[in-house]
Chains A and B, each alone.
Chain A
Amino acid sequence: MMEELLAILTEAVPGVDFELETALVDDEILESLDIVTIVSEIKDAFDVEITVDDLIPQNFNSVEAMLALIEARQN
């Protein structure tokens, strides 16, 4: 799952080391357009429902946080 998510992120926002970054939103590496693109991809790839309520910085600051969000929604 991690590899698939990393592939989505790298395609959506090239040139970012997603495995190292831990403040993607707080440091404005990801902006709103990127987040919406990533969410659309995640919804399709993992068949999960992500709503507006999930769009908070904590859920998108790192690849681990995104993974945790996906797993929470799958459960």
Chain B
Amino acid sequence: MSFTTLPFLILVGASVVLYYVVPKQCQWVLLLAASMVFYCVGGGKTVLYVFYTAATVYTATLALGHWNTLKRNAPKEDKKAITAKYKPHRRAVVAAACLANFVLLYVLKYWNFTADLLQPAVDVLIPGAQIPLSELVLPLGVSFFMFQSVGYVIDVYRDKYQPEKNFLKLLLFVSFFPQMVQGPISRFDALAPQLLAKRSVNYTDLKYGIQLVMWGYFKKLVIADRTAVLVNTVMDDPWSHSGSVLAFAIFFYCIQLYGDFSGGIDITRGVARMFGIDLAENFRQPIFSTSLTDFWRRWHITLGAWMRDYLFYPLSLSKPFGRLGKFTRKHIKGKLGKIIPTSLATFIIYFVIGIWHGANWRYVAFGFWNGAIITMSLLLAPKYVQWKEKLHINEDSRWWHLFQMVRTNILVFFGRYITRAPRFLTAVWMVKETFLHPHWPDLWNGTLMTLGLTGGDFLVIALGVLVLLCAEWYEEKHGSVRAMLETKSPLVQCVAILVPLVVLFCFGVLRADYISSDFIYKQF
């Protein structure tokens, strides 16, 4: 069920009304029922995967919770012995829960890619043999709910909190419907208490929620879906276009992706807010990033935080990395010797983030692109300091800051060639065309008007992006736009709701040949 369909709006509207009508102790049950309806209507068999994940996570965390309690309640002198006694059991259970989910995710998402890779070797070794391909359809939001659930298991393993003993309440945490299309990836201690809270109608929550939902639809329907028309036209047949048109299409893809993903997250957070639930932020003005590392701290924040807490830290502090650190410090003098293990862990994390997006050489290359740049910047950091001193660069100056932002956005821009091109080699060819055969007049000789958009569409996109940039700038400098609106008169607040609503209807929903495309991150 897509966020841009009538059934979704009906489900949200009916759920919000019923949520505040039913007895308070049944409110979480209503959220669970709405989530199940969302899956059954829109996702078909997805509900089975949700149950599978919830069941594995529930069983594992109950066992872990039992051992944690034994340790906690033991006399001080016995704690060490009990910890040692159950350590292998706890490790086995947490590993089993992670494997149960990640192996399934691997089969669903990566098996066919692996089979394609291995088939040539099988052809040589066993002529005629065929590696069976998976025919399972990738369930809606599978990466999101599995990552969220595995994070919960690891947190219980680390004894951060007690496990949920009610299976249905845990099922709600795994399946809360607004965040199932594209996240955010929430933490149990932040989300579960909010899902189970008893609430009365709150005017501010409803108003904030509706404003956020409309802002999200504005980004998605007015900006992203419009830019998608040109992007799809060019990328369906990139070989027929000049380098400048290809670059323009990738530029539009950057706008589309941000409008689509951050718009979807705004809709998610807005819907949750109508139930009084405050979901984690997933974006913080990524356009103002001053480095690629900074970009990944501002873009898809919850995925980055998940990778940091559950992969980067354990990897960096693992024994093999500890041994590597000792080796590099001994044999490579200076800062370089100290940062090699961290740099390697960083490269692995960004590589994993790349392939998290999907089973395709494009995403492998995307991971390599980000990992290589960030790792190089870490390794070269001492040199950068020397160069900056030699060039007398003032790091606090506005111009330096602007240079860093432009440089980062250019790196992100070229990274998007990789993720949007039909194939990796096509992306390489497209970059080559951009530099070698740009044919710049195509940008003003009317070529762009033949790519599916009218002059009016370009104007709407330009104005939409301008509004978006103003809002982003305000939030970067001063904080929440909605909080600022809250200080204004009721009349201004009404206008702030009505104007976007009219814009949405005129330029989003009622567009003559309007066809809403699906959310890009839904496929991940």
Contact = CB atoms under 8 A, between A and B. Distances in A.
Interface of A: 31-33, 36-37, 39-41, 43-44, 50-53, 55
A50 B318 CA distance: 10
B317 A39 contact: yes
Contacts of B322: 40, 43
A37 B338 contact: yes
A42 to B, nearest CB: 11
A36 B308 CA distance: 11
Contacts of B79: none
* Binding site secondary structure of chain A: helix
Contact of A51 (B293, B317, B325, B378): B317
Contacts of A31: 293, 297
Contact of B339 (A37, A52, A55): A37
A33 B338 CA distance: 12
A32 B341 contact: no
Interface in B376-396: 378
B338 A40 contact: yes
B155 to A, nearest CB: 10
B342 interface: yes
Given A39-B317, A51-B317, A52-B314, A32 B308 contact: yes
Contacts of A43: 322
Q: Can you list the 7 inter-chain pairs with the closest CB atoms, starting with the nearest?
A: A36-B316, A32-B308, A52-B313, A52-B314, A55-B313, A53-B158, A36-B342
Given A50-B317, A51-B317, A36 B312 contact: yes
Contact of A40 (B308, B314, B325, B346): B325
8 contacts: A40-B322, A40-B338, A41-B338, A52-B158, A52-B317, A53-B158, A53-B159, A55-B309
B186 to A, nearest CB: 18
Band of interface residues on B: 20 to 34
B297 A37 contact: no
A40 B313 contact: no
A40 B314 CA distance: 13
B161 to A, nearest CB: 13
Contact of A33 (B158, B314, B326, B378): B378
Contacts of B346: 33
Contacts of B308: 32
A36 B297 contact: no
B410 to A, nearest CB: 23
Interface in B140-173: 158-159
A55 to B, nearest CB: 5
Nearest to B374: A33
B345 interface: yes
Contact of A32 (B159, B313, B326, B329): B313
Q: Which of B317, B339, B342 has the most CB of A within 10 A?
A: B317
A55 B346 CA distance: 17
A37 B341 CA distance: 9
Contacts of A44: 326, 329
Q: Which of A32, A33, A50, A55 has the most CB of B within 10 A?
A: A32
A41 B158 CA distance: 24
Interface string B328-354: 010000000011011001100000000
A10 to B, nearest CB: 13
Interface string B295-332: 00100000000001100111011000010011001000
Given A39-B316, A40-B342, A44-B329, 15 more contacts: A31-B293, A32-B308, A32-B312, A32-B313, A36-B317, A36-B345, A37-B339, A40-B322, A40-B338, A40-B341, A43-B322, A44-B326, A52-B313, A52-B317, A55-B309
A37 B381 CA distance: 14
A41 B317 CA distance: 12
Contacts of B159: 53
Contacts of B316: 36, 39-40
B342 A33 contact: yes
Contacts of A52: 158, 313-314, 317
Nearest to A36: B316
Contacts of A37: 338-339, 342
B345 to A, nearest CB: 7
A36 B159 CA distance: 21
Contacts of B293: 31, 33
A7 B338 CA distance: 15
Contacts of B312: 32, 36
A13 to B, nearest CB: 11
Contacts of B297: 31
Nearest to A37: B342
A55 B338 CA distance: 19
